[in-house]
Structure 1
Amino acid sequence: MTSVLVTGCSSGIGLETALAFARRGDRVHACVRDPDTAGELLRRARAENLTLDVPRLDVTDDASVAAAVHGVRERHGAIDVLVNNAGIDRTGTVETMPQSDARAVLETNLWGPLRTVRAVLPSMRAQGSGVIVNVSSLAGRTFAVPHGGFYAASKAALGTLSEALSAEVRPFGIRVVCLEPGSFASRINRDSSVAVAPSDLSAADPYTADRAWTARFLARVQEGAGDCGEVAEAVLAAVDDPGTPLHTPVGKDAETALEYLGSASYEQWLPAFLQQAQSLVGPRPGGAPE
């Protein structure tokens, strides 16, 4: 029986991934930051008669990560698979996003996976095997959209560190995969849209109108978002297939976007992006750059 630890399981990709592993009989540790948010996960597990361990794990807290991983190992033995899924998004400009929000994105999306990786690697090295799946984003592989710089930076950094990590742990029999989903109907996207709702925008912010325009665009993109179960299937496939590429896009939109970009420069990409966005939500305030 494979022992799997998944972070961020209260909803979305993490929830679907935890259930997918449990369906095939793996021992699943479906971690949540706040146990009070695990209701949907537990309800669906009961409905399917699935067994799940639901430890508390806050990826932004060193002690929480250490305690959760230690507790799992004490009760159930070695962790064979780590799925770093927990993440947040905050939308805003490089100039005006509050420092606290910018730091929270990097703390969760970059340092969070690093904490869990460092916690599980000693036992994986000792057993000579293991798989680490970092759930990144298409945003980490493409050019950053306006108001999405900190999220994209966190995911790009996670992808880069996954490359170094892969080379470092391969001699110990450990594989690393960095999945890069496109647009999926997860709570992280809904939370991001709420964060930039027009009612929350300050008239003193010089980017207010552009930020509201971006919020409308993100909402339109989310209308066509895919099912998180597709990402869960990709996680399982990556764990099972040693030939899975380190960087693996998930979703037709992710594959199409990467094919379209090819060797395109930022200067070539930006006008095309703005044209597409404006076709969905109208002219960008102030006009688009030529």
Structure 2
Amino acid sequence: MKKRILITGAGSGFGKGAAIGMAKNGHAIIATTQVSSQVTPLREEAQVLGLKNFRVERLDLTDPYDIAQAQRWDIDVLWNNAGMGEAGPVWEIPVDLVRKNFEVNVFLPLTLTQGVVRRWVSEGKKGKVVFTSSMGGLFTPANWGTYVSTKHALESIAEALQQELAAHGIKVQTINPGAYYTGYNETMADNPFRWLDDNKHFTKRADLRKGFDDFFASPEGKMDPKEMIDRMIEVVPGDTGKFRNVVPKKIEDMLKAHQLAAWDNQI
């Protein structure tokens, strides 16, 4: 069955690629972007591709009027894909940046989701909510703690929603990408250098930069996003499937081993 799917954060990366792919498969897409300047180029790209079932709108989650408008759209699937990230040592990062990351990645998607599912429940509609989490929603590497803690929160919210909404026939899933090379992680790694000061902080800029650069130079830090996009095209509109969807398989295996080892972790 073809679905009407609302995607946040569809102006680039996973969201854009999967939105186009799902439209090609016949689903009716509302692809939303945070930035107004992304709307027209994406509309034009869809037109060139001949996608008549591809609608592009601005949806800035920080704008309550944008959220209220989106909550009125007639959709079958809400895919909360938009997000941002703050990196750097948790013990030194300014707390206002932590609050901002939780606002964008947790509180605002939850606000959007609450309005959508309340409407579905009142109308007796059996919809579906998908959250783009992360491999970082299931473990915590040093210097990524702020960002991945927001994804840990999303994991809990999604798990609670799945139980709470099951009686209403509303399904909930998470998608947990590895470190695919979309530019998202790479620009996130630049963020701490706005505030990190060798004259004030114990963490040195050169050491942090080297750690990030070494990771992104590794195969695990630079995976081709096509694999993840192809999987998203299957998962998001699907009527069945796993609650949690980690890609690639080697990252799923690593996370399972990490969670098992956590029971024996010593201080």
Alignment deviations for residues 209-250 of structure 1 (CA, whole Å, 9 cap, x no partner): 442233223432477533333333323322454442212212
Opposite residue 117 of structure 1, the aligned amino acid is T
Q: Conserved in 2, the CA contact under 8 Å of 1:6 and 1:85?
A: yes
Check 1:241–1:49 CA distance in 2 against 1; reply closer, same or farther (3 A cut). Answer: closer
**1:263: how far off?**
1.1
Alignment deviations for residues 11-62 of structure 1 (CA, whole Å, 9 cap, x no partner): 1011012111211222211011112024653454233211321111112333
1:73-152 equivalences under 5 Å are: 73=73, 78-125=74-121, 126-142=123-139, 144-152=140-148
More helix per residue: 1
Q: Which residue of 2 aligns with 1:22?
A: 23
Distance in 2, Cα, partners of 1:93 & 1:203? 13
Farther off after superposition, 25-34 or 181-190: 181-190
Check 1:82–1:222 CA distance in 2 against 1; reply closer, same or farther (3 A cut). Answer: farther
Distance in 2, Cα, partners of 1:218 & 1:39? 35
Distance in 1, Cα, partners of 2:134 & 2:263? 18
Q: How many residues are treated as equivalent by the alignment?
A: 262
Distance in 2, Cα, partners of 1:231 & 1:79? 24
Q: Which residue of 1 aligns with 2:47?
A: 46
Farther off after superposition, 129-138 or 180-189: 180-189
In structure 1, the gaps of 5 or more residues are 271-290
Distance in 1, Cα, partners of 2:178 & 2:266? 17
Q: Which residue of 2 aligns with 1:202?
A: 197
Output the TM-score relative to the length of structure 1.
0.81
Distance in 1, Cα, partners of 2:208 & 2:266? 20
Alignment deviations for residues 153-192 of structure 1 (CA, whole Å, 9 cap, x no partner): 1000100110100011111111000111111122321211
Q: Which residue of 1 aligns with 2:154?
A: 158
Q: Conserved in 1, the CA contact under 8 Å of 2:136 and 2:148?
A: yes
Check 1:171–1:31 CA distance in 2 against 1; reply closer, same or farther (3 A cut). Answer: same
Quote the sequence identity (%): 27
In structure 2, the gaps of 5 or more residues are none
Q: Conserved in 1, the CA contact under 8 Å of 2:9 and 2:32?
A: yes
The DSSP-based 3-state class of the residue aligned with 1:178 is strand
1:1-290 equivalences under 5 Å are: 1-38=2-39, 41-51=42-52, 52-70=54-72, 73=73, 78-125=74-121, 126-142=123-139, 144-196=140-192, 201-204=196-199, 205-209=201-205, 210-221=207-218, 224-265=221-262
Check 1:222–1:15 CA distance in 2 against 1; reply closer, same or farther (3 A cut). Answer: farther
**1:131: how far off?**
1.1
**1:95: how far off?**
2.5
Distance in 2, Cα, partners of 1:135 & 1:188? 13
Distance in 1, Cα, partners of 2:198 & 2:27? 52
Opposite residue 57 of structure 1, the aligned amino acid is L
Opposite residue 121 of structure 1, the aligned amino acid is V
Q: Conserved in 2, the CA contact under 8 Å of 1:7 and 1:86?
A: yes
Distance in 2, Cα, partners of 1:187 & 1:65? 26
**1:269: how far off?**
10
Distance in 1, Cα, partners of 2:242 & 2:135? 15
Opposite residue 157 of structure 2, the aligned amino acid is L
Check 1:55–1:222 CA distance in 2 against 1; reply closer, same or farther (3 A cut). Answer: farther
Q: Which runs of 4+ in 1 moved over 6 A?
A: none
Output the TM-score relative to the length of structure 2.
0.87
